[in-house]
Amino acid sequence: MRSLANFNAILRDAVGIGIGTAAYGFGFGALAISTGFDVAQTMTLSAFMFTGASQFALVGVVGSGGSFAAALAATWLLGFRNLPYAITMKRIVAPAKSKIPFAAQLTIDESTAMALAHQDDEPTGTAAKAGFWLTGISVFVFWNLATLLGALAVSITSDPKALGLDAAISAGFVALLWPQLKNQRRIRVALIAAVVALLAIPFTAAGIPILLSGAVAAAIGLRMKLEQI
């Protein structure tokens, strides 16, 4: 991996993305504690669940008085996107059997996006593997450190909104989606999915609009040809 021409650039991006997620890892830690989770539970979510949107959904549903089942549904529906990520990463990262549990745990938005971004760098796919592992490990370390800091600092920053941390999460999702909008068709799919989510928010439980967006995008995909996207 180190022999890659762009290894240092990939490493630098991986660390940058890790530091970037720290902003909302901090926000998650603060939010979880203020919702009534203790530090051990908050850290278990960041280390074991380790998929930001699901973690926020769980804490959000519990915070708004949602049921056990509603909290589980929101968490798993949001985590469902990791399944196609994992199917794609199986091909691109191709981990050895013994490394699959680690690869699975590190299969998240950021590591998947980095692997996809580097899959055409060179014919062996080593750059994509480096992108996946370095980003996954970097995000894991910074995400958990930041969660701990946020959890411990909650008494000082009792209001994550005052720091714009909720806007930082929106911005993070924008920054993750942007590189995937490579052509007009993909942009159109994203816009249609966005409209579907917007229309669904007033009528469905938290998490459902996102699943509907995914379902619509998949349905549009079934009507296309591979070379069109």
Partner 1 sequence: MWPLVLIASLGAFLLKFLGYLVPEKWLAHPRIALVVTLLPIGLLAGLIIQQTFADSGAIAVDGRALGAVIAIYASSRKWPFIAVIFVAAIATAIARYFGLVN
Rounded to the nearest whole angstrom, what is the least distance from the CB of residue 111 to partner 1 in the complex?
11
CA–CA gap between residue 44 and residue 117 (Å, rounded) = 30
Rounded to the nearest whole angstrom, what is the least distance from the CB of residue 51 to partner 1 in the complex?
6
CB closer to partner 1, 1 vs 36: 36
SS (HEC) of 151-215: HHCCCCCCCHHHHCHHHHHHHHHHHHHHHHCCCHHHHHHHHHHHHHHHHHCCCCCCCHHHHHHHH
Rounded to the nearest whole angstrom, what is the least distance from the CB of residue 125 to partner 1 in the complex?
14
Rounded to the nearest whole angstrom, what is the least distance from the CB of residue 164 to partner 1 in the complex?
3
Footprint on residues 161-180 left by partner 1 (CB under 8 A): 161-178, 180
Handedness of CA 37, 39, 44, 49 (dihedral sign): positive
Q: Alpha helix (H) ranges present in the chain?
A: 7-35, 39-44, 52-63, 68-79, 82-92, 100-105, 109-117, 126-152, 165-177, 184-200, 208-222
Footprint on residues 30-69 left by partner 1 (CB under 8 A): 36-38, 41, 44-45, 48-51, 53-54, 58, 62, 64, 68
Footprint on residues 191-220 left by partner 1 (CB under 8 A): 191, 193-194, 196-198, 201-202, 205-207, 209-218, 220
CB closer to partner 1, 149 vs 176: 176
Q: For residue 15, what are the CA distances in angstroms to 21, 131, 154, 165?
A: 10, 11, 25, 20
Footprint on residues 80-119 left by partner 1 (CB under 8 A): 80-91, 95, 100-101, 103-105, 107, 109, 112
Q: Give the contact letters, 118-157, x = binds to partner 1 (CB under 8 A), - = no.
A: ----------------------------------------
What is the residue whose two structure tokens read 């007033």? 202
Rounded to the nearest whole angstrom, what is the least distance from the CB of residue 93 to partner 1 in the complex?
9
Rounded to the nearest whole angstrom, what is the least distance from the CB of residue 3 to partner 1 in the complex?
25
